[in-house]
């Protein structure tokens, strides 16, 4: 028993708060300790933060790390502190004006651990991130070409190019190169490149300046803005008087820029937000859609007459006679009309295919443009040859294929138009997230006493840190922040997927984009622009959609050889049919009356060339991943990329942490038994005074319970505790009101020679049997009472484990808690396999053991001590209410902190991956069936042949069908079995 309680005392629980834990959001504000929340933003905006890394020796468990973290955070001017017990390190973010590195080091040593400052550990950041939009990519060959070109640049560390999102994510060393060189390298490969963002902490705004007459005025404004602290970069477009400003939102903001601009020219200049967001990615996407639409319409203008003259009017006697009228020798009016009309389609409207082919071939690769250019040129130039020969030879009756080239281009343009339309819909999840931010906000001006002086409606993009914003009922919260005044309920489902409205009162945090339901709130903006929760979720989803799933490598490998192989097959088809015709390998009756054997062979060859579609293969995986991750985000399941999505569908074993994962994560006192005559209020006052200095979650539960006996006070002051000692793994002792008080486990009592009566032993056994923890209390050397502390199970935990069993997924509990409590909790939820009293590294080892046994393992946890196991697992799932470290280490974040989302994540990944398989089957099956048919495999037996323009239409339809197949994932519904659990979850407080 002593050993079990000793192990229990070394568990650190990171999940505090109410019984139903509040979800963790990626960017909830953290205030410097020692500075009030209201003053925080002033401190943060006026001073720069510093980082310091310390080596901390002597820590043995997460409770040790907790005590170090607590001590550091008590110092004034500490923004944040993270203590890593596994690597014996502490990372501290602080304000140098309030505290210095030596003070922090001394504080760590005062807690009882040896601390050494690690020099230059964090100051030398050698990696910068930039995101770039790339226009003009058509298939995986294009994206591979760009990727290779970027990887060849010195200083580039990592590159991801996504065909579906038409974007690149580049990690590079800013000391060696800058993003302009990266843009130039992409342009050099033949694609249009647009910078989306640089760095992960930068916001960007586009302003239009009215009143500028000369370039000198623009340069003057640029210099004035450059002098502002926090401005990172300025881009100027003199033609439309536009200024693009990259800045750090914690140091400055757009209203500051406007003031500077308007003061620079003595009131002559006026600044406003550039219309339509300054021509961002969405505008570029819309422009691309319009371009394809215009090109398609223009191609129809020329192609329809070509089609009519070659395939319809030839059956109308009067018109046929006119078209067949000869001008020179055998040259007819119909041939001249078709030549004239198809030429603009081939060289003006189809110019994009020539430029695309040239750029691809220049870099030693071949893409879809090469196939289209070869096919249409073959048809067009053979037709030109036929027309010229007819004009010069008195007896030559040739057939032209002008309708083939023009109709091919028209159908391919239609396909590309439909494809970009469909691809735009795959990223609707991100667009919907970005649309959550309200367009306007009500800015309040307060006096020194906090009274409202004035209200002003502003564009929400002009909100800066420190602003006080008024949120009326039914309005969207305009920015991340905390409540200064008012009470209300806020619907956060659009961010977290949690349907239940969350109560908000003074001091509570709110997230931008959520909806205020009933009361009026005044909130103070703490995180704006790129720092907001919404922006970070969007960035996470965008990054997930950039990441390639391992299965994508299959398409990438095929794409290297696909186009050259198709060209060889096309040439072989033409040669085989041509030679067969020349040497009478088939009856002459097979040859249509309007052509000869050479023309028949040529049609087969062109059909093979244009029916093969590398696009469908390239889009099979990324479009499904895009839709899947977007749907996950809308359900409160953030999936960090294709790798996580692919691994999750194979999961057949899940390792659960206990505290904060299977249980609510908030221990509460459920029973008290006294063995001496004593007033319960006095008893708890002594315990609370003793435990108030402890960081242990059980201590917090006791202090919280003791407050119930002091209901007349909001924050009761406990009596002073003298000679306080924390005995790691055992408990605490101190002298309160001249009484020596000890609170801890059985080992603590035995070590201090305190007798434990049979009644107390019996109660300890009962509590452990009920999955509770027993805490013993002695006063002046005598055992006075026993407390039973329980951490209740999460609603629906048993049902979730049952559903997982039905899905053929094995469940295991791995916890640092004692064996009795762990087994009891496991029995309650229906899990047979239990590992208890496990240290963080032992959790990771258990995961590796299961992997070695052939399992694909998912780890579900919420604390710092779960991070090694989350990283070791095939799929790490972090409970959203957990710690930043756990969320960073995980592959999937469950925003609602609900266990049923584990099932949603696995089910969604299975559905997504089955969609990817279906896409591949369709894309490969289409090519495997289409190429032989186009090559004339059915012609000898059925007389069926595929004209090149129909082959082109089929090729265009294949990529559209793959994208549409992926889009069906948008209608994903989580398993019906979970609906009842959600209803139960709402009913339970």
Select which of 80, 369, 400, 657 is catalytic.
657
Residue 31: other Cβ atoms inside 10 A: 19
CA–CA separation, 343 and 345 (whole Å): 5
Q: For residue 120, indicate whether it is catalytic.
A: no
Q: Is the Cβ–Cβ distance between 559 and 617 less than 8 Å? A: yes
Token readout for 703 is 């202090």
Residue from 345, 322, 346, 348 nearest 335 by CA: 322
| Residue whose token pair is 């042949």 | 945
| Separation CA 708–CA 22 (nearest Å) | 22
Query: Residue 973: what pLDDT?
Result: 86
- Residue numbers in the chain where pLDDT is lower than 70: 1-49, 60-64, 84-88, 119-126, 199-202, 265-267, 275-284, 426-433, 494, 496-499, 544-547, 594, 695, 712-715, 728-729, 818, 863-865, 881-888, 980-989
Exposure pattern of 633-661 as b/e (b: 16+ CB <10 Å)? bbbbbbbbbbbbbbbbbbbbbbbbbbbbb
CA distance 470 to 246: 27
Q: Retrieve residue 456's tokens.
A: 């002003």
- CA distance linking residue 753 with residue 48, whole number of Å: 54
Whole-number Cα distances in Å, 52 to 67, 96, 97, 116, 212: 18, 11, 14, 10, 46
Query: 720: closest CA among 733, 701, 735?
Result: 735
Query: Per 3-state DSSP, what percentage of the chain is helix, strand, and coil (rounded to 5)?
Result: 50, 20, 30
What's 794-819 look like in SS3? CCCHHHHHHHHHHCCCEEEEECCCCH
Three-point CA angle 964, 966, 967, nearest 5°: 60
3-state class (DSSP) for residue 669: strand
Q: H or E segment at 568? A: helix 552-582
pLDDT at 712: 64
CB 7 within 8 A of CB 837: yes
C-alpha–C-alpha distance, residues 83 and 962, integer Å: 48
Cα 586 to chain centroid distance, Å, stands at 59
User: In this predicted structure, what is the pLDDT of residue 747?
Assistant: 80
Which DSSP symbol is given to 476?
B
The length of the chain is 989
Contact between residue 610 and residue 566 where contact means Cβ atoms under 8 Å apart: no
pLDDT at 38: 43
Residue carrying the six token digits 């908000």: 504
Taking residue 209's Cβ as centre, other Cβ atoms within 10 Å add up to 23
Question: Looking at the DSSP assignment, which residues form a beta bridge with residue 690?
Answer: none
Structure token pair of residue 14:
């990171």
Q: Sort strands 810-814 and 833-835 into parallel, antiparallel or unpaired.
A: parallel
């Amino acid at each position: 028993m002593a050993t079990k309680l000793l192990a229990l005392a070394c568990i650190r629980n990171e999940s505090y708060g109410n019984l139903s834990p509040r979800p963790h959001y990626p960017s909830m504000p953290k205030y410097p300790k020692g500075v009030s929340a209201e003053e925080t933003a002033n401190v943060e905006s006026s001073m720069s933060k510093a980082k310091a890394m310390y080596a901390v020796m002597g820590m043995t468990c997460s409770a040790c790390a907790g005590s170090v973290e607590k001590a550091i955070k008590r110092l004034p001017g500490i923004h944040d502190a993270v203590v890593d017990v596994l690597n014996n390190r502490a990372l501290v973010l602080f304000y140098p004006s309030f505290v210095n590195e030596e003070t922090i080091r001394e504080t760590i040593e005062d807690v009882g651990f040896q601390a050494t400052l690690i020099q230059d550990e964090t100051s030398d950041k050698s990696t910068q991130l930039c995101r770039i939009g790339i226009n003009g990519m058509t298939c995986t060959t294009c994206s591979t070409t760009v990727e290779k070109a970027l990887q060849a640049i010195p200083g580039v560390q990592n590159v991801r190019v996504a065909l579906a999102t038409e974007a690149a994510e580049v990690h590079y060393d800013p000391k060696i190169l800058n993003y302009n060189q990266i843009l130039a390298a992409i342009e050099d490969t033949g694609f249009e490149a647009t910078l989306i963002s640089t760095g992960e902490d930068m916001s960007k705004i586009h302003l239009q300046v009215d009143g500028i007459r000369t370039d000198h005025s623009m340069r003057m404004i640029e210099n004035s803005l450059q002098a502002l602290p926090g401005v990172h970069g300025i881009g100027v477009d003199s033609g439309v008087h536009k200024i693009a400003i990259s800045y750090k939102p914690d140091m400055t903001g757009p209203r500051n820029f406007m003031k500077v601009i308007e003061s620079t020219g003595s009131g002559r200049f006026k600044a406003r937000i550039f219309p339509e967001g300054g021509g961002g990615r969405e505008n570029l996407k819309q422009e691309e859609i319009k371009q394809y639409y215009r090109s398609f319409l223009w191609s129809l203008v020329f192609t329809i007459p070509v089609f009519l003259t070659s395939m319809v009017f030839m059956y109308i006697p009067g018109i046929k006679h006119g078209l067949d009228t000869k001008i020179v020798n055998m040259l007819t009016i119909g041939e001249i009309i078709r030549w004239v009309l198809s030429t603009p389609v081939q060289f003006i409207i189809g110019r994009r295919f020539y430029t695309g082919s040239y750029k691809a071939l220049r870099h030693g690769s071949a893409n879809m443009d090469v196939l289209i250019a070869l096919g249409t040129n073959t048809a067009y130039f053979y037709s030109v040859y036929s027309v010229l020969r007819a004009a010069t030879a008195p007896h030559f009756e040739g057939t032209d294929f002008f309708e083939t080239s023009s109709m091919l281009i028209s159908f391919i343009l239609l396909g590309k138009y439909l494809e970009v339309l469909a691809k735009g819909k795959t990223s609707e999840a991100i667009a919907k997230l970005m649309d959550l931010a309200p367009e306007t906000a009500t800015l309040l001006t307060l006096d020194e006493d906090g009274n409202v002086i004035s209200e002003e409606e502003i564009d929400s993009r002009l909100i800066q840190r420190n602003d006080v914003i008024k949120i009326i009922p039914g309005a969207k919260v305009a920015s991340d922040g905390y409540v200064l005044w008012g009470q209300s309920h806020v619907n956060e489902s659009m961010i977290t997927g949690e349907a239940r409205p969350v109560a908000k009162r003074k001091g509570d945090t709110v997230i931008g984009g959520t909806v205020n339901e009933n009361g009026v709130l005044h909130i103070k903006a703490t995180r704006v622009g790129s720092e907001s929760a919404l922006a970070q979720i969007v960035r996470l989803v965008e990054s997930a959609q950039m990441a390639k799933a391992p299965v994508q490598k299959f398409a990438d490998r095929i794409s290297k050889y696909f186009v050259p192989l198709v060209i060889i097959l096309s040439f072989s088809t033409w040669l085989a049919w041509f030679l067969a015709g020349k040497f009478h390998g088939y009856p002459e009756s097979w040859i249509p009356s309007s052509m000869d054997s050479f023309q028949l062979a040529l049609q087969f060859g062109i059909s093979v060339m244009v029916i093969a579609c590398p696009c469908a293969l390239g889009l099979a995986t990324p479009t499904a991943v895009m839709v899947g991750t977007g749907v996950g985000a809308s359900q409160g399941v953030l999936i960090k990329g294709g790798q996580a999505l692919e691994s999750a569908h194979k999961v057949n074993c899940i390792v659960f942490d206990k505290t904060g994962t299977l249980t609510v994560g908030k221990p509460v006192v459920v029973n008290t038994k006294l063995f001496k005559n004593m007033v319960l209020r006095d008893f708890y006052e002594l315990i609370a005074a003793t435990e108030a200095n402890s960081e242990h979650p059980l201590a917090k539960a006791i202090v919280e319970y003791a407050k119930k006996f002091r209901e007349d006070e909001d924050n009761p002051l406990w009596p002073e505790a003298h000679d306080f000692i924390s005995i790691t793994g055992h408990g605490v002792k101190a002298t309160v009101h001249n009484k020596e008080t000890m609170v801890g486990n059985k080992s603590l009592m035995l070590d201090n020679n305190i007798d434990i009566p049979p009644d107390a032993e019996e109660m300890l056994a009962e509590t452990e049997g009920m999955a509770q923890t027993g805490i013993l209390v002695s006063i002046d050397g005598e055992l006075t009472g026993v407390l039973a502390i329980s951490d209740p199970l999460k609603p629906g935990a048993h049902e979730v484990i049952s559903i997982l069993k039905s899905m053929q997924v094995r469940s295991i509990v791995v916890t640092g808690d004692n064996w009795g409590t762990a087994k009891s909790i496991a029995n309650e939820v229906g899990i047979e396999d239990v590992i208890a009293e496990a240290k963080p590294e032992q959790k990771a080892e258990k995961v590796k053991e299961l992997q070695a046994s052939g399992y694909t393992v998912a780890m579900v946890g919420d604390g710092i001590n779960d991070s090694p196991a989350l990283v070791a697992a095939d799929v790490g799932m972090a409970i959203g209410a957990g710690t930043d470290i756990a969320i960073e280490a995980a592959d999937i974040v469950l925003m609602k902190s609900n266990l049923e989302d584990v099932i949603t994540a696995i089910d969604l990944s299975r559905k997504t991956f089955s969609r990817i398989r279906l896409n591949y089957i369709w894309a490969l099956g289409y090519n495997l069936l289409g190429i032989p048919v186009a090559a004339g495999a059915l012609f000898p037996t059925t007389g069926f042949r595929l004209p090149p323009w129909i082959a082109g239409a089929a090729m265009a339809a294949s990529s559209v069908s793959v994208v549409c197949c992926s889009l069906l994932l948008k209608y994903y519904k989580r398993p019906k079995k979970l609906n009842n659990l959600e209803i139960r979850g709402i009913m339970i407080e």
